[in-house]
């Protein structure tokens, strides 16, 4: 009887250990809107703030084939989950920009909680004026019209071989190198577009 109880306790302990390993390292924080400072009036809003679900973030980074040490730039970074996940999961460097000080505050808090402050930085700035020339990967979750505004900037600055992953909205008539459509954990259909820079500037 004692042996059976010991085996039972050991099994429960092992189960709990594996369950703990599957938990997210840190939930992403969100500051109350009542504490939100004003957005930058000199920068255009390229999309409303809608957080990308974590399983979609993981899929975007996998589609981009992110490597350790690469630079991932997220234009419209929100609470920073894409650069933070790239750093935590792949050992990549991350840089995120947003025009909303509240989002930047959240991103910095999340980077600190995830212990990746040495790998990621966030800046309150206009995505249209962001230098992406050193990026290996650029991610966007912006409206179609905003992507079209960014297209000549990205294709001019990015080195051949750099990757762009766009969530939900494509870059117009620029044919993507790969399209990934799937159902997320909430049952919603998602589409991701992968573009590989080839040195050709697209207006």
What CATH architecture does domain 54-196 belong to? 3-Layer(aba) Sandwich (3.40)
**How much is the average pLDDT of 50-68?**
97
Is the pLDDT confidence value at 46 over 90? no
pLDDT at 72 over 90: yes
What is the average pLDDT score of the chain? 85
Lateral strand order in the sheet of 163-167:
120-124, 93-98, 71-75, 137-140, 163-167, 189-196, 178-183
Residue 164 backbone phi and psi in degrees, to 5: -120, 130
């Amino acid at each position: 009887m004692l042996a059976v109880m010991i085996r039972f306790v050991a099994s429960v302990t092992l189960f709990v250990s594996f369950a703990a390993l599957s938990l997210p390292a840190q939930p992403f924080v969100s500051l109350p809107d009542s504490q939100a400072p004003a957005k930058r009036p000199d920068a255009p809003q390229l999309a409303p703030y809608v957080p990308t679900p974590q399983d979609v973030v993981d899929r975007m980074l996998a589609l981009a084939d992110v490597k350790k040490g690469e630079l991932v730039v997220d234009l419209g970074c929100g609470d920073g989950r894409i650069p933070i996940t790239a750093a935590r999961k792949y050992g990549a460097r991350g840089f995120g920009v947003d025009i909303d000080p509240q989002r930047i505050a959240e991103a910095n808090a999340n980077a600190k909680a995830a212990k990746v402050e040495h790998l990621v930085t966030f800046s309150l700035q206009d995505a249209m004026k962001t230098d992406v020339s050193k990026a290996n990967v650029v991610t966007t979750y912006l409206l179609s019209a905003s992507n079209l505004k960014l297209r000549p900037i990205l294709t001019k600055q990015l080195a051949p071989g750099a990757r762009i992953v766009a969530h939900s909205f494509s870059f117009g008539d620029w044919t993507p190198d790969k399209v990934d459509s799937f159902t997320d954990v909430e049952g919603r259909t998602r589409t991701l577009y992968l573009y590989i820079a080839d040195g050709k500037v697209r207006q």
